[in-house]
């Protein structure tokens, strides 16, 4: 796992309560971005797909593993860099 300490507990700079709400993609995309958060989310997504692909690969599903990794790479590329 790339950032185990950040996955287990929130970063020390995060204080107080947070309320998560659901909005449509258009509204979400119009909000300002926190690049540090974007990169952490991208790293987390990449770590998950690597694990999933490793399991698929062990079961001989090489093409499916490759497709999963490529799909996630395509999805996270805009905000991962």
Q: Determine the pLDDT at residue 79.
A: 81
Check pLDDT > 70 for residue 24. yes
- Domain count within the chain: 1
- Burial (0-12, 13-18, 19+ Cβ within 10 Å), 4: exposed
Q: Determine the pLDDT at residue 78.
A: 86
Q: Average pLDDT for residues 9-31, to the nearest whole number?
A: 66
Instruction: Using the CB atoms, write b or e for 47-72: b if 16+ within 10 Å.
Output: eebeeebeebeeeeeeeebeebbeeb
- 13, part of any domain: no
To the question of pTM greater than 0.75 for the whole model, the response is no
- 42, part of any domain: yes
**Domain span at residue 68?**
33-81
- 3, part of any domain: no
Radius of gyration of the chain (CA): 15
- 66, part of any domain: yes
Give per-residue pLDDT as tens, 64-77: 999 999 999 999 99
Q: Determine the pLDDT at residue 28.
A: 75
């Amino acid at each position: 796992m790339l950032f185990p300490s950040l996955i287990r507990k929130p970063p020390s700079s995060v204080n107080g309560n947070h309320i998560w709400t659901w909005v449509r993609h258009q509204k979400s995309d119009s909000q300002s971005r926190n690049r540090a958060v974007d990169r952490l989310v991208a790293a987390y997504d990449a770590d998950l797909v690597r694990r999933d692909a490793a399991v698929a690969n062990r079961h001989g599903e090489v093409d499916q593993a490759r497709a999963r990794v490529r799909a996630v790479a395509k999805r996270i590329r805009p905000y991962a860099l």
